[in-house]
Amino acid sequence: MEVTTDKFIEGSRTAIKDEHLQKAIHKATSLSVRERDHAAAEIPDWEELREKARNIKQNTIERLDEYLALLADSVEKAGGTVFWADTAEDATRYITDLAVARGVKTVVKGKSMTSEEIGLNERFEELGIEPVETDLGEYIVQMAKEKPFHIIAPAIHKTRQDIGQLFADKLDIEYEDNPEKLTKIAREKLRGKFCDADMGVTGVNFGIAETGTVVVVENEGNGRLSTSMPPVYVALMGMEKVIPALNDLSTFMTLLPRSATGQKASCYVSFITGTRNVGEVGGPKEFHLVILDNGRSRILQDPEMRESLFCIRCGACLNICPIYNKVGGHSYGWVYSGPIGAVITPQYVGLDKAKDLPNASTLCGACRDICPLRINIPHMLLNLRHKIAEGDKTTGVSKPKSKWAEKAIIDLWVIGMKSQRVYGLGHRVGLVAQKVFLRNSKMKDRLPLLSGWTEHRELPPLAPKPFRDIWKERLSKNGG
Amino acid sequence: MTSGSKNIRASIFITCLVDMLYPNVGEAMVKVLRETGVKLDFPADQTCCGQPAFNSGYQSQARDLAKRFMSIFEGDEYVVAPSGSCTSMVRVFYPELFKDDPVNLRKAQALSSRVYEFSEFLVKVVGKEEVGASYRGAVTYHPSCHLLRELGVGSEPKQLLSKVNGIDLRELPDEKQCCGFGGTFSVKYSDISGAILDTKVKNIKESGAEVLVANDSGCLMHISGALTKQGVPVKAMHLAELLAMKGNDGSHD
Amino acid sequence: MADSNQQDFLQKVRRSLGRPGITPPADRERLIGSSDKPKPVTQLREELEALVHEQRDSLIDSLEREFTRVQGQVARISNESDLHGYLKELISAQAIKRVVRWDTSLPAPLDDTLSESGSTVTTIGPEDGDASETRDALINADLGITEVDFAIAETGSLVLLSNDHQSRLVSLVPPIHLALVKPSAIVPSMAHILPILIATAGEESARMPSSVTFITGPSRTADIEKVLTIGIHGPMAVHLLILEYL
């Protein structure tokens, strides 16, 4: 997918001014949070499950190469083929080569953020192969030629009127904006695609090393159809999605649907292991598991950042984030948005291209509170800010330099802060500067940082006497 | 739980914002703590804990200031600050800063266990919820994010507020939602900051309160700035200021 | 045998983790192993049966309640004649002409009722390749009938294993799905089923079933304004019959 992470500030300004969009985001996310809170409250040992899930992921990630080896072994024993994709190009080349070799004309796709990461649809289209997004939200954004707006609900920025108009324009039908009717239209239009498709591609929620099983979680049934009707099925899995044992799943399947949509269980959970049995009707005759690195191993290099790979893509952090709720998913400029996006996107596309993402946060920590695996997003954002400011020692990849002016200011400021006298002097200078520069109120609105402040808030004055002087003069004598 | 509060000695960690912009908050904190019998001193050499540098990614510079800070407050029985974010810098992030430096890590860990935010100090260390405060009016409370989530201080401020004589404590809708300050975020990403702030102001209006109380001057400066600019008749006050009040005329005696 | 592509890939991962050496050959026991020796599947099944029998009434209640909550239709069937009645009513009300079903021995009245009603029934059983008649039967069917291997009371989920007699398409392609469950198959939670799947895979078939599907109600989406809409790509309706007399 095209990277536009450097357009964050522009994008966020546009989003904030769009009242229509703000209403749509707020409606969707506030409902999601309420539903999630209700569903989590039903589980008395929710906190213990979070801890358990975290430990499973931690153990797996720390020995990732071994669990991936076991996963591959299990898949192969079940009649599947494993392809190891170091880069996005490796993955797309393998899948498109396979499609060409099998004479594939149409591919039906279950929801896969990883496929957007590698730009798979574009590669198919270049070869004259039709990739059909079948998840309703993805179907809508594909039709609109937009990026997904949210990890779970790709079209949540669109109202029913937007979608009705889109369908009317692109499908050449009468305008209709009732959600039920629009949903039926999508079902009818896509039915034939499932039947005719020569290949199905989906993402993977969990890859079970013990058995070689890929787990696909969904509500619509398009995942089931994509994995059951075409003769060839390609499961595209980010390598961090592997978990050790089948028994580990019950922990995750309690946390994931409740965190994502407030459901006790998603409508369909499919355990797919290898190819169909001899004589079986439905299911893949060929099963390919493409295991994708694409920069994940670079994330592993810094032990502090490894937990960014624990994410199970529930989207809860997006729903609760005060920044996401104002700027929306498109501002983040790539596949993954919200708090988790702010952490992983810079690591994938390069810190120098995505400097705004870790910085555009108040570090409030609501994301960590709601995350089913308690991923410490605020601490990782601080870590990324550190890498931006002082260079990235662990990976030595693209050493971005912070603005020299900013570093100079910080250095000066630190020198000042090391001396109580300079600090005190600074206050006195500030008092004078305040009188001089702010006497003319127009100044306030022109000075670079200050104008940002004063656009929304009154500027407080420096106190005539700092506390330390007051203490010395009055307070230290009594009851010291 | 009134246990030997006469024997508690604490050093004041005043924080830059209170020192330079809101010294009255410092005065109020001193008054409230002294009335409970706590003996206070103020290490005059203190400056900044280094959080602005740390939050901007300049960890070496933050480390310099942290070392200075740790030596100034070394050996103090307790250190108390009128700020959740500054307290969390010392308690949570100093050990992080020195994780590869065993000597300073030990110092940071020792200081961690002795540094407190004002409201948690009152409730947990001094053991007091009722401090003789009196204020008649509708008041609502905004929990600052670092206070709530890095320090885990959620109920203590409310316990203290509930004991204020005459208070009409109102719930703030969506209270846990960030106010949008975030330090330099408020100026670097001022549009987003302002938009988040608008929601907080809307919720404050909805609460029907005349006073907004918080424990962090950053949040208060940011929120009161908007209240003033928008002409909303709500006064923003630090918890220490409210607890120092003996009546609505603002008298502290 | 690991090809060089696999070796390179895994080495990169291992080096990134700061681990020395090369990835050892996959050792299931070391990586998955639990402290207890795994129980044989017969024992697991017996233990589960005993538990299910003991909690039978509350499990049925919970399944009925949860399945209804997710917009499924549930009916408790207390005898064969009621089963016959339900099916007849369904066929009439939904104008069902074409039926596909699993190739398992369904309770006898079902077959009788289906033939009496005049609807065509295609049993989807073992075959080689994709016969177009089978495909057409599935695509044109109004109703798909299956049993369930398990039902989960906690979440109202039906668990269907697939094989050459139990096609995964029967519960997926037709717009209406009718599922038959015996009370002995109703278990408390997903965690009760997983060990049995593993033990079965270990002992009997050397691998997991080609698919295990957990179905919790008719298909749905909330992708448009978070408005819940029932019926998109999977079935529009699911009827669950709890055969209490079995």
pLDDT in tens, chain B (253 residues): 444 556 899 999 999 999 999 999 999 999 999 999 999 999 999 999 999 999 999 999 999 999 999 999 998 999 999 999 999 999 999 999 999 999 999 999 999 999 999 999 999 999 999 999 999 999 999 999 999 999 999 999 999 999 999 999 999 999 999 999 999 999 999 999 999 999 999 999 999 999 999 999 999 999 999 999 999 999 999 999 999 999 776 555 4
pLDDT at C35: 61
Q: Which of A179, A250, A279 sits opposite C189 (nearest CB)?
A: A250
- B46–A430 C-beta distance less than 8 A: no
Q: Which residues contact A119 (CB under 8 A, 6 or more apart)?
A: A1, A88, A92
**CB contacts < 8 A (A, B):** 193
CA distance B103 to chain A (A): 21
Examine chains A and B and say if they touch (3+ CB pairs below 8 A): yes
What is d(CA B84, CA B118) in angstroms, rounded to the nearest whole number?
A: 8
Taking CA–CA distances from A364, the nearest residue in chain B reads: B145
Rounded to 10 deg, the angle between the A19-41 and A249-261 helix axes is: 140
pLDDT at A480: 45
Taking CA–CA distances from A247, the nearest residue in chain C reads: C194
Please list every residue in chain C whose beta carbon sits closer than 8 Å to the beta carbon of residue A86. 8-9, 12
- C14 to chain A, any CB pair closer than 8 A? The answer is yes
pLDDT at A397 over 70: no
Do A193 and A222 touch, CB atoms closer than 8 A?
no
3 state SS for chain B: CCCCHHHCEEEECCCHHHHHCCHHHHHHHHHHHHHCCCEEECCCCCCCCCHHHHHCCCHHHHHHHHHHHHHHCCCCCCEEECCHHHHHHHHHHHHHHCCCCHHHHHHHHHHHCCEEEHHHHHHHHHCCCCCCCEEEEEEEECCCHHHHHHCCCCCHHHHHHHCCEEEEEECCCCCCCCCCCCCCHHHHCHHHHHHHHHHHHHHHHHHCCCEEEECCHHHHHHHHHHHHHCCCCCEEEEHHHHHCCCCCCCCCC
Q: Which of C16, C124, C201 sits opposite A211 (nearest CB)?
A: C201
Over residues A75-120, the pLDDT tens digits come to 999 999 999 999 999 999 999 999 999 999 999 999 999 999 999 9
**Structure-block tokens of residue C234:** 């999977």
**CB contacts < 8 A (A, C):** 271
- B194–A362 C-beta distance less than 8 A: no
Q: What is the DSSP letter of C24?
A: P
- Check: pTM over 0.90? Answer yes or no: yes
Please list every residue in chain A whose beta carbon sits closer than 8 Å to the beta carbon of residue C14. 65
pLDDT at A402: 61
- CA A364: distance to chain centroid? 18
Neighbours of chain C (3+ CB pairs under 8 A): A
Over residues A272-329, the pLDDT tens digits come to 999 999 999 999 999 999 999 999 999 999 999 999 999 999 999 999 999 999 999 9
Q: Which residues contact B58 (CB under 8 A, 6 or more apart)?
A: A386, A389, A390, A407, A410
Please list every residue in chain B whose beta carbon sits closer than 8 Å to the beta carbon of residue A390. 57-60
pLDDT at B7: 87
What is d(CA B25, CA A359) in angstroms, rounded to the nearest whole number?
A: 30
Most A CBs within 10 A among B48, B190, B235, hence the mutation to make, goes to B190
- A450–B58 C-beta distance less than 8 A: no
CA distance C81 to chain A (A): 31
pLDDT at C39: 84
Taking CA–CA distances from A177, the nearest residue in chain C reads: C224
**Structure-block tokens of residue B43:** 């290490």
pLDDT at C3 over 80: no
- A228–C32 C-beta distance less than 8 A: no
The alpha helices in A264-370, defined as continuous H runs, are 296-300, 316-320, 324-327, 338-349, 356-359, 366-370
- CA A26: distance to chain centroid? 18
Which amino acid makes up residue C238? Answer: V
- A210–C13 C-beta distance less than 8 A: no
Over residues A421-478, the pLDDT tens digits come to 888 888 888 888 887 766 655 556 666 667 778 888 888 888 989 999 999 998 886 6
pLDDT at C1: 43
- A326–B192 C-beta distance less than 8 A: yes
What is d(CA A102, CA A346) in angstroms, rounded to the nearest whole number?
A: 37
pLDDT at A149 over 90: yes
Neighbours of chain A (3+ CB pairs under 8 A): B, C
pLDDT at A416 over 90: no
Q: Which of A423, A404, A403, A425 is nearest to A413 (CA)?
A: A423
Q: Chain B window 6-45: which residues touch A at a Cβ cutoff of 8 Å? A: 12, 14, 18-24, 26-27, 30, 34, 39-42, 44-45
Q: Which residues contact B244 (CB under 8 A, 6 or more apart)?
A: B27, B28, B29, B31, B32, B133, B252
What is d(CA A84, CA A240) in angstroms, rounded to the nearest whole number?
A: 13
Taking CA–CA distances from C227, the nearest residue in chain A reads: A179
ipTM: 0.96
pLDDT at B1: 45
Please list every residue in chain C whose beta carbon sits closer than 8 Å to the beta carbon of residue A303. 18
Mean pLDDT of chain A: 93
pLDDT at A442: 57
pLDDT at A435: 78
Q: Chain C window 93-112: which residues touch A at a Cβ cutoff of 8 Å? A: none
Q: Chain C window 176-195: which residues touch A at a Cβ cutoff of 8 Å? A: 189-191, 194-195
Q: Which residues contact A361 (CB under 8 A, 6 or more apart)?
A: A323, A339, A342, A378, A381, B182, B185
Taking CA–CA distances from C160, the nearest residue in chain A reads: A270
pLDDT at B253: 46
pLDDT at A430: 85
Please list every residue in chain A whose beta carbon sits closer than 8 Å to the beta carbon of residue B182. 361-364
- B26–A467 C-beta distance less than 8 A: yes
pLDDT at A406: 82
- B57 to chain A, any CB pair closer than 8 A? The answer is yes
- A291–C9 C-beta distance less than 8 A: yes
Neighbours of chain B (3+ CB pairs under 8 A): A
What is d(CA A95, CA A85) in angstroms, rounded to the nearest whole number?
A: 10
